[in-house]
Structure 1
Amino acid sequence: MNEQGPWISPGPEPGPGSRGGDGLRGDPNRSGGRKAAGAALLILLLICIAAALLFIRSQTVAWPPPDWIFAACDVGQGDALALAVGPAEAVVIDTGPDPAKADHCLTLLGVRKVPLLVLTHFHADHIDGVPGVLKGRAVAEIETTNDRDPPKGASEVAAWASAASVPTSVAAAGEHRRFGPVSWDVLWPDPAAESLTTPPTPPTLPTPSDPVHKSRRRGRHQPRASPRGGGEEGSGPNNSSVVLQVTVATRDGPVRLLLTGDVEPPSQAAILAAHPDLAADVLKVPHHGSAHQDPDLFAAVHPRVAVISVGKGNTYGHPVPRTVALASGAGARVFRTDDDGQVVVFGTAARLRVATRRQDSMP
């Protein structure tokens, strides 16, 4: 975990009956007030030290935290996510570009069973790690988007599934599933709005310092893509990503997550129009924090935690500063796999916590 300890989401704000301030009574200038304040500060310091010692000890004892809910793997430039659904069991969403890194992440999480592997779309940075997920694990089903583009990626997934005797299915808007404490609804892709998945030129959130902004001013902007299309901006496959609205039951209420694949503004707007209530505790920021975002989506989700799955030093400029600011401006604490490593959300609805662990600190 990081040396600073887990981040804990803010609790409820003081109600009308709260005294506010430091809660001390009397005149703070009196010696009794000063002594009381000093004693309170000492007690608080001792509590903080004790908590820090417990946390430091936990770094060497257990990873992930025993009550983990969601994990974003550190797989470089790509997405690989997991939802805990039972002992040693997780639903996996995307696999990143590297089988070894996908396997390593799930091994660290203790995942040996995968009742469902969801592939949001067929770009390499979301599917090339599939063999790593299949390695030594019981995978019951692979579910994909309905858009088989790029064809090479779709064919590879079909071949891997066939070789491992894993059945495949296609996700569609309106589908509802549940595994253990985790349930979700598929919000996208929606066959009734297929024309929205191939936009001509989606809007962006450029800043004067962004490379995309500069190239547009010179009239030379072109989508930046990997040889297999893993990073294309404004692409049909991105906008056909499977989007899941997830609910995790905890002892004091539900934790809500919105997992967005690489959807860009046309699909983001269509999803928001069809599902105005997108509020969630955790947002997986679309498309690695690219410039192609709809600010209304972030405002509607208003997450406590925003996770950007992205590779350090990637050639696409992900994430752009404006999108990071957009996420934090919506009220979220932002975590990035390039800076923070593996990101794990754990705890309960009332006490939602985040722990991070970099690859160089892992055994």
Structure 2
Amino acid sequence: MTAGVVALLLVLIAAVVALYVIRSRTTNWPPPNWILAACDVGQGDALALAAGPAEAVVIDTGPDPAKADHCLTVLGIHKVPLLVLTHFHADHVDGVPGVLKGRTVTEIETTNDPDPPRGVAEVTAWARTAGIPTSVAAVGEHRRFGPVSWDVLWPDPDASPSAPPEPAPKSHRRGRRQARASPRGGGEEGSGPNNSSVVLQVTVATRDGPVRLLLTGDIEPPSQAAILAAHPDLAADVLKVPHHGSKYQDPDFLRAVRPRVSIISVGAGNVYGHPSPDTVRLAGGSAGTPVLRTDRDGQIVIYGSARNLRAALRR
């Protein structure tokens, strides 16, 4: 793969997948009619939903302000009507100053779980300094900005999972010990903040119909099972695979989504073993759904329309 822009176009129509590769330093970016961007921010999540010219709803910010800023700059984003922080782990919120840099951010919405306290304190301070009002995502909430609308599926205080997390396999527990050694954490399985992630069921209006996306933060099997029980229809065109492709997944939840493309936001060479090969296979499904990864593919942009959905990759 050469330096500069590498665009990989995936034409996703029914079960037929055609690949087109364009290598050009002058390729326009982002592609026209873009819908979703998964930023390449290392080991973390940062997503953007196109809400209008130079405008996007941003979901999470990754761990690095410079990378968050770079991603949005490349996308041409100057206005953020809403910044959603799915939970307060560093790999989802520490990039907030990069989103705020030189942009108008109208509101910050967060999970209802104020943990870990350090992340909560940081976000509160950043919002207060910038004069940005904050709110808490409520299950059943419906919002819209331009062509983008969504429902908040989680966290539900009346249906929060009470069962303790299942133990990970021995090989994965070794990865967990490494994760807990990190001073900023955010990678270990079975954590309360992960299972309190804001989950959005998104619909984007396009010229020939809606495109559906399921954006899942870092939810793990207890929350995945509770969401599936409450919302059996999770089918989506695009799935943001939970928790960077961790091995710790509910297969029934992922199978219920039946996406046309799955996206894993993950950093190369991370100490957590993300993404798990088992999860990559599960996200691909029996039909061989394309699984795109920021560690290998760079910035991922979904664009086009319901009948002609494509993905472009840029390193």
Do these two structures clear the TM 0.5 threshold for a shared fold by scoring above it?
Answer: yes
CA distance in 2, matches of 1:296, 1:223: 28
CA distance in 1, matches of 2:8, 2:245: 25
Counterpart residue number, 2:157: 191
| Structure with the higher strand share, 1 or 2 | 2
Question: Which residue identity does 2:75 align to in structure 1?
Answer: L
2:115 to 122, 126, 149: 149
Q: Deviations over 1:129-164 (max 9, x none)?
A: 000000000000000000000011001100000000
CA distance in 1, matches of 2:45, 2:23: 29
Structure 1 runs of 4+ aligned residues shifted over 6 Å read none
CA distance in 2, matches of 1:245, 1:314: 28
Aligned CA RMSD, in angstroms, stands at 2.1
1:286 to 216, 226, 242: 242
Question: Which residue identity does 2:299 align to in structure 1?
Answer: Q
What secondary structure, in the 3-state scheme, does the structure 2 residue paired with 1:192 have?
A: coil
CA distance in 2, matches of 1:11, 1:96: 32
What secondary structure, in the 3-state scheme, does the structure 2 residue paired with 1:345 have?
A: strand
Q: Deviations over 1:53-109 (max 9, x none)?
A: xx556x514101021100000000000000001000000000000000000000000
Question: Which residue identity does 1:250 align to in structure 2?
Answer: T
Matched, 1:7 2:4: no
With a CA cutoff of 8 Å and minimum separation of 6, indicate the structure with the bigger relative contact order.
Answer: 2
Q: Shift of residue 330 of structure 1?
A: 5.2
Residues 188 and 244 in structure 1, CA contact (< 8 A), matched pair in contact too: yes
Counterpart residue number, 2:304: 347
Question: Is the alpha carbon distance of 1:75 and 1:200 closer, same or farther for their aligned partners in structure 2, counting shifts above 3 Å?
Answer: same
CA distance in 2, matches of 1:329, 1:12: 12
Q: Deviations over 1:184-220 (max 9, x none)?
A: 00000001023x1x6523365x5xxx8317x59xxxx
Number of matched residues?
308
Residues 74 and 338 in structure 1, CA contact (< 8 A), matched pair in contact too: yes
Q: Shift of residue 222 of structure 1?
A: 4.8
CA distance in 1, matches of 2:80, 2:285: 35
Question: After superposition, where does 1:100-179 map in structure 2 within 5 Å?
Answer: 100-179=66-145
Q: Shift of residue 172 of structure 1?
A: 1.2
TM-score, structure 2 normalization: 0.93
Counterpart residue number, 1:212: 172
Counterpart residue number, 2:46: 80
Q: Deviations over 1:213-266 (max 9, x none)?
A: 7x59xxxx7583331221121000000000000000001110000000000000
- Percent identity between the aligned chains? 71
CA distance in 1, matches of 2:165, 2:253: 18
Residues 2 and 355 in structure 1, CA contact (< 8 A), matched pair in contact too: no
Question: Which residue identity does 2:113 align to in structure 1?
Answer: D
CA distance in 2, matches of 1:129, 1:154: 13
What secondary structure, in the 3-state scheme, does the structure 2 residue paired with 1:355 have?
A: strand
Counterpart residue number, 1:238: 194
Question: Which residue identity does 1:188 align to in structure 2?
Answer: W
Counterpart residue number, 2:185: 229
Question: Is the alpha carbon distance of 1:116 and 1:56 closer, same or farther for their aligned partners in structure 2, counting shifts above 3 Å?
Answer: same
1:202 to 141, 146, 166: 166
